[in-house]
Amino acid sequence: MALPFEPSIEGLGGSYWDVVEAAVFPRTQLRFRNDALLRQLGVEPDGVSDQDVEMAYGRFEERVPLLALRYHGYQFGTYNPQLGDGRGFLYGQLRDRTGRLQDLGSKGSGTTPWSRGGDGRLTLKGGVREVIASEALHRLGVTTSRTLSLIETGDELWRGDEPSPTRSAVMVRMARTHLRFGTCERLLYLRDPEGLERLLRHVVAVYYPDIAAAHPAPDGDRLALEHQLLAFYGELVERVARLAAEWMSAGFVHGVLNTDNMSLAGESFDYGPFAFLDRWDPSFTAAYFDQTGLYSYGRQPAICRKNLQLLQNPLAMLLPRPRMEESLERYASTYQNHYRFCLVRRLGLTTNPDLESDERLVSATLELIASWPVGYGDFFAGLASAIQSAGLPQEPEGLPVFLNDGPAPAREMWQNWRNAWWWQTQAREVPGTEPDASVPEVLRRWNLSQTPTRSLIESLWEPIDQGDDWLPVGSWLASVMKA
Ligand code: AMP
Ligand code: MG
């Protein structure tokens, strides 16, 4: 599989990465390949055998150099200058069909100078979980990395959070970039403003081309550089605000929002102890080692904002802080607008004629699901399935309580929500505008019939663990990946 890789980060020079070698595994056995992504990368999947995938993304043949990226980060509030790719590397960078540069990065591919005593490996279950998270989030409209391949590698691993020994795997993900907030933080730690300037010029040129075009910054022109980088920071603030809104609407808890897991392209990536909500609960915490609930579901928007504020520390080597603070002020309204847009879309409604009614519908929805002990994803799936089978009701009273195996919702709360929702389905018929996409179709497109909550993931993992049966996870993935 000869892909047209481009030396992009490599061209920045060796102070940002270390050349590493991939581990040699006892065996390689393909467990997941993402043909839709191969197509996105301009590769016809029919011409690629499973063995080709194993050779390329399990044995990493013919691909040099493999680069472990250097970075630091705030982990649970404490600065850690000993990070960096400890079990992965940048395998290559290439253009997708739309011309955008994409990273292929590995996870579980062996130790590096940054492994800090770790084994450099990924458990098979951890890999299956990342496949599930990335594909579900992508389907739900979250700006996320995707998984290209998962290959079982035949090692036995010991982990505190899985029955051990446990099976091992190596994964390759496609992400916009593996450059993180922590990549900048490291350059502040090293007091290297020139290194930061070089890095950020690169980031803007590759991942913010509109800003590079609107704010050209010739070498040596400090003021022009300042304008460009301020515009970049402002755009990053907006991308991260929208990402947080997308997670919240998806009912997703990332789990480890350390600054080394925050992408400079504003994309969601690196799925470890994540969880999809069962019941809607702001205090729900995903990582067992997050004892104070720092990264709980409800704190994610504030934590992302905090991380953007922390990023001002390295950026202040090149930019005036008050101007960055001004940009950060846009975070709240960007978040709120996008959250409303995403949530209303999950309710089957796309166009946006009346923001205030949408806002009221969002409040009514949150009141209902906070008081009604049903699954967060089940609520949307239930609505989608009721409307798909019976069509839009003629009047609000025509919508039945669509989840009837559990407790009933409080009457007043239910009626309040149902009326607000029904009127919004009617109000979308705005004269003189494009006809609204049909509510049943929007509901189908933006919801999952089965949300990968912990219990669902366990039920998909158990057959693999007990009998090497990959059918359940395969059919769940097929249902999600069918757009
Ligand atoms: P994470 O919390 O997964 O983002 O990882 C934080 C840091 O720990 C990163 O530098 C990882 O590369 C590193 N790391 C995590 N697991 C391992 C492992 N098994 N071996 C080596 N490094 C690891
Ligand atoms: Mg990470």
Q: What is the pLDDT of residues 185-237, one digit of tens each?
A: 999 999 999 999 999 999 999 999 999 999 999 999 999 999 999 999 999 99
Mean pLDDT (whole number) for 147-165: 96
- C-beta of 202 in contact with ligand 1 (< 6 A): no
pLDDT at residue 426 above 90? no
Q: Quote the pLDDT of residue 428.
A: 66
How many angstroms does the Cα of residue 325 sit away from the middle of ligand 1?
32
- C-beta of 84 in contact with ligand 1 (< 6 A): yes
How many angstroms does the Cα of residue 167 sit away from the middle of ligand 2?
21
Q: With cut-offs at 50, 70 and 90, classify the pLDDT of residue 483.
A: low
- C-beta of 270 in contact with ligand 1 (< 6 A): yes
Percent of the chain residues topping a pLDDT of 90: 91
- Ligand index nearest the alpha carbon of residue 86: 1
> Is the dihedral angle over the CA atoms 40, 44, 46, 50 positive or is it negative?
negative
> Is the dihedral angle over the CA atoms 213, 218, 223, 226 positive or is it negative?
positive
Question: Are 169 and 108 within 8 A, CB to CB?
Answer: yes
In three-state secondary structure terms, 98 is coil
Among 70, 28, 29, residue whose Cα is nearest residue 185: 70
How many angstroms does the Cα of residue 83 sit away from the middle of ligand 1?
8
How many angstroms does the Cα of residue 143 sit away from the middle of ligand 2?
17
Question: Are 44 and 36 within 8 A, CB to CB?
Answer: no
User: Which atom of ligand 1 lies closest to the CA of 261?
Assistant: 4
Q: With cut-offs at 50, 70 and 90, classify the pLDDT of residue 475.
A: very high
Per mean pLDDT, which range of 308-317, 342-351, 443-452 is the poorest? 342-351
- C-beta of 120 in contact with ligand 1 (< 6 A): yes
Cα separation, 465 vs 55, whole angstroms: 25
How many angstroms does the Cα of residue 270 sit away from the middle of ligand 2?
6
pLDDT at residue 437 above 90? no
Give pLDDT tens digits for 159-182.
Answer: 999 999 999 999 999 999 999 999
Helix 124-139 vs helix 222-250: crossing angle, to nearest 10: 100
| Ligand 1 atom 22 nearest Cα | 86
Q: 332 Cβ partners below 8 Å, 6+ apart?
A: 241, 305
Q: 258: which 2 tokens?
A: 């350390």
Percent of the chain residues topping a pLDDT of 70: 97
User: Which atom of ligand 1 lies closest to the CA of 256?
Assistant: 2
pLDDT at residue 431 above 70? no
Mutate to test the pocket of ligand 1, among 20, 89, 115, 294 (most ligand atoms within 8 A of CB): 115
Give pLDDT tens digits for 447-456.
Answer: 999 999 999 9
- C-beta of 118 in contact with ligand 1 (< 6 A): yes
Q: Quote the pLDDT of residue 404.
A: 81
Q: 314: which 2 tokens?
A: 């390295």
Q: Quote the pLDDT of residue 5.
A: 93
| Ligand 1 atom 4 nearest Cα | 261
Q: With cut-offs at 50, 70 and 90, classify the pLDDT of residue 61.
A: confident
- C-beta of 85 in contact with ligand 1 (< 6 A): yes
- Which residues are paired to 73 by β-bridges? 80
Cα separation, 124 vs 110, whole angstroms: 14
- C-beta of 86 in contact with ligand 1 (< 6 A): yes
Cα separation, 454 vs 448, whole angstroms: 15
Could you give the residue numbers annotated as active site? Answer: 260
Q: Quote the pLDDT of residue 1.
A: 78
How many angstroms does the Cα of residue 304 sit away from the middle of ligand 2?
15
Q: Quote the pLDDT of residue 288.
A: 93
- Ligand index nearest the alpha carbon of residue 126: 1
Question: Count of residues for the chain?
Answer: 483
User: Which atom of ligand 1 lies closest to the CA of 260?
Assistant: 4
Q: 279: which 2 tokens?
A: 């019941």
Q: Quote the pLDDT of residue 2.
A: 81
How many angstroms does the Cα of residue 474 sit away from the middle of ligand 2?
26
| Ligand 1 atom 5 nearest Cα | 86
Among 169, 165, 168, residue whose Cα is nearest residue 147: 169
Q: With cut-offs at 50, 70 and 90, classify the pLDDT of residue 244.
A: very high
pLDDT at residue 432 above 60? no
- Work out the burial of residue 219: count CB atoms within 10 Å of its CB; fewer than 13 is exposed, 13-18 middle, 19 or more buried: exposed
Question: Are 142 and 480 within 8 A, CB to CB?
Answer: no
The upper half-sphere exposure of residue 347, i.e. CA atoms within 13 Å in the direction of its Cβ, equals 28
- Ligand index nearest the alpha carbon of residue 75: 1
User: Best-predicted range by mean pLDDT among 16-30, 389-403, 436-450?
Assistant: 16-30
Question: Are 185 and 74 within 8 A, CB to CB?
Answer: yes
Mean pLDDT (whole number) for 369-383: 96
- C-beta of 122 in contact with ligand 1 (< 6 A): no
Q: What is the mean pLDDT of the chain?
A: 95
Cα separation, 284 vs 454, whole angstroms: 12
- Listing DSSP states for 82-99 in one string gives T-S-SS--EEEEEE-TTS
The upper half-sphere exposure of residue 289, i.e. CA atoms within 13 Å in the direction of its Cβ, equals 8
Q: Quote the pLDDT of residue 430.
A: 53
User: Which atom of ligand 1 lies closest to the CA of 112?
Assistant: 21
| Ligand 1 atom 13 nearest Cα | 86
pLDDT at residue 295 above 80? yes
Instruction: List for the chain the helix, strand, coil content (%; round to 5).
Output: 45, 15, 40
Q: Quote the pLDDT of residue 314.
A: 98
Residue 156 gets which letter from DSSP? E
